[in-house]
Amino acid sequence: SVVTARVLVAKFPGLETTGSLRPIEMGERVEVEGVSVMLVDANHCPGAVQFIFELKDGRIYVHSGDMRYHPSFRDDPILSGICKRVTTLYLDTTYCNPRYVFPSQEESIDYVASTIAGEVDAFNGGGGRAAKSPPL
């Protein structure tokens, strides 16, 4: 994905000049050796995607690593257009066991935001604003 490519370039400066990166936009269709490849958002973390591979004979393979299902997936034009035609679905099922229960995405975001706000507040002695360093 474009987001993942940005992370890689930030971590490994110069990588963008090697020709080894080919960032793909969400929903963009690219041909790789006769196979159509598209990405759709996996709603997991920034840059996480599901890969859709469509072969010339019509077979469709979907690979999803970590993803977080959201009802909006039903309205995604790419997913809804292929859902009944998928030949094989490859899933990362590391946590696909009922014993694992995770907070919702909204609860996780709220927790992180309130934790950060609390740390900023504590750092500022309860003032609630970001600290400013005195000029050197």
Q: Are residues 80 and 114 in the same domain?
A: no
Pairing of strands 49-54, 60-64: antiparallel
Here the tokens at position 30 are 């690219």
User: Between 32 and 135, where is the model more confident?
Assistant: 32
pLDDT at 73: 86
Q: Are residues 36 and 80 in the same domain?
A: yes
Identity of residue 89: L
CA 28 – CA 43 distance, rounded (Å): 17
* Residue 102 belongs to some domain of the structure: yes
Q: Are residues 59 and 102 in the same domain?
A: no
Q: Are residues 46 and 103 in the same domain?
A: no
User: Phi-psi bin for 102: left (phi > 0), alpha (psi -120 to 50), beta?
Assistant: beta
pLDDT at 17: 86
* Residue 135 belongs to some domain of the structure: no
User: Phi-psi bin for 108: left (phi > 0), alpha (psi -120 to 50), beta?
Assistant: alpha
Here the tokens at position 66 are 């970590």
- Count of domains forming the chain: 2
Q: Are residues 86 and 113 in the same domain?
A: no
pTM to 2 decimal places = 0.72
Q: Are residues 101 and 71 in the same domain?
A: no
pLDDT band at 136 (very low <50, low <70, confident <90, very high): very low
Q: Are residues 68 and 30 in the same domain?
A: yes
- The pLDDT of residue 109 is above 70: yes
| Mean pLDDT over the full length of the chain | 86
Q: Closest Cα partner for 63 from 47, 74, 52? A: 52
Which of 24-28, 76-80, 81-85, 126-130 is the least confident region? Answer: 126-130
User: Phi-psi bin for 54: left (phi > 0), alpha (psi -120 to 50), beta?
Assistant: beta
Q: Are residues 71 and 88 in the same domain?
A: yes
pLDDT at 83: 85
Torsion angle, alpha carbons of 79, 81, 86, 90, to 10: -10
Looking up tokens 């039903």, which residue turns up?
A: 74
Give me the domain span that covers residue 115: 97-129
